Structure 1
Amino acid sequence: MAFGIKKQDIAEWKRKIDQGEIAFLTHYWLDDRFPGYKTVTKVGCSDLKKLAEWGRQYGLKKDWIDHRKNGYSHFDLIGEKQEEILKQEGLLEHIWKNRKQG
């Protein structure tokens, strides 16, 4: 279940994806399959080859891309890997913003 996300954040994420950029969107997320994790970062791009190449540098397999018919295919990042990648991308504010609100 996703929550704690603004419509304008989703619109901006989609706009970047549509333009072929690697786009990041972090929000609260609860899933019984992953107890103890409270946020997810969706990393998407309309260019799936570019997205797969981006993921490879972080040890992500292209098979892990959540393929969406609506064009917003993405990787889902959680836990330590999420924080590691956001740190390397210079985007830790995604995590801190959600921690302050939670």
Structure 2
Amino acid sequence: MAFGIKRADLLEWKRKVAAGQIAFITHYWLDDRFPNSKTVTKVGCRNLDRLIQWGNQYGLKPEWIDNRNKLYPHFDLIGEVQIEILKKEGLDQYIW
């Protein structure tokens, strides 16, 4: 279950993804499969080649891309991987 996200932030993320930019958005998230994680960061880009290339630098596999909604393909980052990537990207403001 996702919560704690502003509509304007979500719309901006969708706009960037649709424009072929690498876009980040973090929101609170509860999932029994990941009891130690309270947030998820979605890293999206409609240009799949660009998203795959971005993910490769962090060891993310193309098959991990959530592409159920073809308009907003994205990686879901959680836990230590989430924190590590956000720090490397200089996006400490997304670490809650």
TM-score normalized by the length of structure 2: 0.97
Task: Give unmatched runs, 5+ long, in structure 2.
Answer: none
Q: Which residue of 1 aligns with 2:42?
A: 42
- Runs of 4+ off more than 4 Å: none
String of CA shifts for 1:13-49, please: whole Å, max 9, x gaps: 0010111100000000000011110000000001011
After TM superposition, give the deviation of residue 70 of structure 1 in Å.
Answer: 4.4
String of CA shifts for 1:1-20, please: whole Å, max 9, x gaps: 00000000100000101111
Task: Give unmatched runs, 5+ long, in structure 1.
Answer: none
Residue identity opposite 1:82 in structure 2: Q
Count of aligned positions: 96
Once superposed, what is the RMSD of the aligned Cα atoms? 0.8
Q: Which residue of 1 aligns with 2:81?
A: 81
Matched, 1:11 2:29: no
Q: Which residue of 1 aligns with 2:71?
A: 71
Residue identity opposite 2:44 in structure 1: G
C-alpha separation between the residues in 1 aligned to 2:46 and 2:80? 26
Q: Percent identity?
A: 67
